[in-house]
Structure 1
Amino acid sequence: MKTKHFRLNHFLSSCGVCSRRKADEIIKSGKVTVNNKRSLDPAMKIHPEEDQVKLDGKGIHPPQQKYYIAFNKPKKVITSMNDPKNRPCIADYFIPVGFESSRFKGLATKRKKPKSYGKIIPNGYKKAKDRIFPIGRLDWHSEGLILLTNDGDFSRKVLQKKIPKTYLLKLDGRPTTAQLLKLKKGVYTEVGRLKAVYIKELKQQASQHSWVKVMLTEGRNRQLHRMFEKIGFQIKVLRRIGIGRLKLRSLKPGEYFLLSPMDIKKVFSLPSELQSKKSRKISKRER
């Protein structure tokens, strides 16, 4: 079977170098060569097995093995694989390790200066060093579930689809039902209209604080903070606990696991709260 041709920007993205949009910028800057000739055209068609693509003189190749990882990001950690200011970042939690199975849980091992940023050497592939990167982001003070991969196509699919993401919030007060309903209908902020697709105050003992479960299909900068500020509340704790139907489970901050094929399917499935009764029955049979 013949290997299909790829656009140059698509090839860089699928190799995990960067996003397709960023690939356009890199190519137009003249940093990419194809068969030792500089290419400035992101739409140029290349054949992965026949053409030699280089970035800054270094060869670009498809990942030897693709990884799909669920990670529980701790607070005060940058959602990046490096940081010019030397702040703690996600890469600090991924050192060369042997993944014994798809259900392996890796306890975070913090190092001040990791020797290998974003490199994973899986069991049986000691020479494989595939670059991984986070899909999307969580703010410095936020915590919870974030996906990482070295598969550019998977990353783009997750970012382009409006996948519901579930958050657990601790507020500095107790909002009324009417105030929460207002957020579901949508509020206008300096960045436009923002809304939740699901929102519910969780049952709790008498307290001056409130825990609220919220689902969003957008990921604008500080979206939840902007929304709750509009109804007069500050968020004290922001924790993402689900992406699609994939849940954070019992992962502690800094722990991670490899996604199984069923886990990947859950990423693109609706949470039970947004499903019809018929869909819920089907989902239960799949578990």
Structure 2
Amino acid sequence: MKIRLQKFLASVGVASRRASEKIIQDGRVQVNGRIVRELGVKIDPDVDEIKVDGKACRKEPRHIYILINKPIGVVTTVKDPFGRPTVLDLIKGLKERVYPVGRLDMDTEGLLILTNDGEVTYRLTHPKHEVEKTYLAHVRGMVGRQQILMLETGVKLEDGLTAPAKVRIVKYDGDSTVLEIKIHEGKKRQVRRMCSAVGNPVIYLKRTHIGTLSLKNLKPGQWRFMTAKEIEYIKNL
């Protein structure tokens, strides 16, 4: 879509619109290599090359932040070579490209963030930031104090000892147990492997929180844009 040159300059932070008009009139702006002094010129930011004082001005992509409740059976990838449904198949009508932050395995339901903000992705996934993730795990067997202690102090897996977790029993359900498990690592299928290691394999797993972000009323397959308060929170992690 074409817009006036001075409006574009203002939108990318060169100067105010009025100051941008003077910059144009002073012959400091080039469009596709040609100096432009007229104020009525329209440009296409996605096609035309704009330079001010010889320095290129580029349109910054709009940052998108989405919360989605990933259903069971959907893979957390942009494309799947086996033709399975991906989380991006659930996002309809979005022009910008977004990417999943971290992963949930195909058999796990729950909260996932999609964004095109690389800095936020780094903050949420790098181990040094230790962002806490909360899961509800329905496991086989009656979990006792010994298993809780093992999960809380660290479980030895093939790829190393897990960091201490926070675990509480939500309820017993016949010969099974529902646990709330909080971890800040991101090992592959970590919660499932931890539970299996202590003798209580997972029947059903759902991620409910990433830090203070929660699913709230999102049903499996539903998504929404994050609020300004939520975006501020993840940017300040």
Q: What is the 5 A alignment of 1:79-158?
A: 79-96=76-93, 120=94, 129-158=95-124
**Cα 1:265–1:211 shift into 2, 3 Å:** farther
Aligned residue among 171, 183, 198 for 2:166: 198
**Deviation by residue 1:100-132 (Cα, 9 ceiling, x = unmatched):** xxxxxxxxxxxxxxxxxxxx1xxxxxxxx2111
Distance 1:219 1:83, change over 3 A: same
In the alignment, is residue 175 of structure 1 matched against residue 129 of structure 2? Answer: no
CA distance in 2: counterparts of 1:68 and 1:144, whole angstroms: 16
* Post-superposition CA distance 1:59-96 (Å, at most 9, x none): xx631x21111000000101012112111111111121
Q: Aligned with 1:224: secondary structure?
A: helix
Residue deviations 1:169-216 (CA, integer Å, cap 9, x gap): 000111101211111011212110014431001134x51111000001
2:72 aligns to what?
75
Q: 1:206-256 deviations in whole A, cap 9, x for unaligned?
A: 511110000010010111122112211110111000000111112100111
Q: Is the 8 A contact 1:134 1:147 kept in 2?
A: yes
CA distance in 2, matches of 1:269, 1:210: 36
Tell me whether 1:250 sits opposite 2:209 in the alignment: no
Counterparts in 2 of 1:213 and 1:267: CA distance versus 1, 3 Å: farther
CA distance in 2 between partners of 1:234 and 1:245 (Å):
27
User: Is the Cα–Cα contact under 8 Å of residues 75 and 142 in structure 1 kept in the other structure?
Assistant: yes
Gaps spanning 5+ residues in structure 1: where?
A: 4-48, 53-60, 97-119, 121-128, 271-287
Q: Structure 2 vs 1, CA of residues 193 and 207 (structure 1 numbering), >3 Å: closer, same or farther?
A: same
Q: For structure 2, which runs of at least 5 residues remain unmatched after alignment?
A: 1-12, 16-54
Matches within 5 A, 1:11-30: none
- Contact 2:91–2:223 (Cα < 8 Å) also in 1: no
Match among 204, 209, 226 for residue 237 of structure 1: 204
- Amino acid corresponding to residue 50 of structure 1 in structure 2: A
Name the counterpart of 2:130.
162
CA distance in 1, matches of 2:97, 2:236: 27
8 A Cα contact 2:135 2:206, kept in partner: yes
Contact 1:196 1:214 in 2 (8 A): no
**Aligned mates of 1:267, 1:197 — CA distance in 2:** 22
1:50 equivalent in alignment to 2:56: yes
Say whether the 8 Å CA contact 1:244–1:268 is kept in structure 2. no
Q: Sequence identity of aligned pairs in percent?
A: 33
Task: Provide the aligned C-alpha RMSD in A.
Answer: 2.2
Q: Secondary structure at the match of 1:62?
A: coil
Give the distance between the partners of 1:177 and 1:228, measured in 2 at CA. Answer: 14
Structure number having the greater strand percentage: 2
Give structure 1 regions of 4+ aligned residues with deviation exceeding 3 angstroms: 265-270
| Corresponding residue for residue 218 of structure 1 | 185
Larger Rg belongs to: 2
Report the more deviating stretch, 161-170 or 186-195.
Answer: 186-195
CA spacing shift, 1:266–1:62, aligned 2, 3 Å: closer
* Secondary structure, aligned partner of 1:131: coil
TM-score of the pair, normalised by structure 1: 0.60
Aligned length: 184
Q: What amino acid sits opposite 2:101 in the alignment?
A: I
Q: Is 1:262 matched with 2:229? A: yes
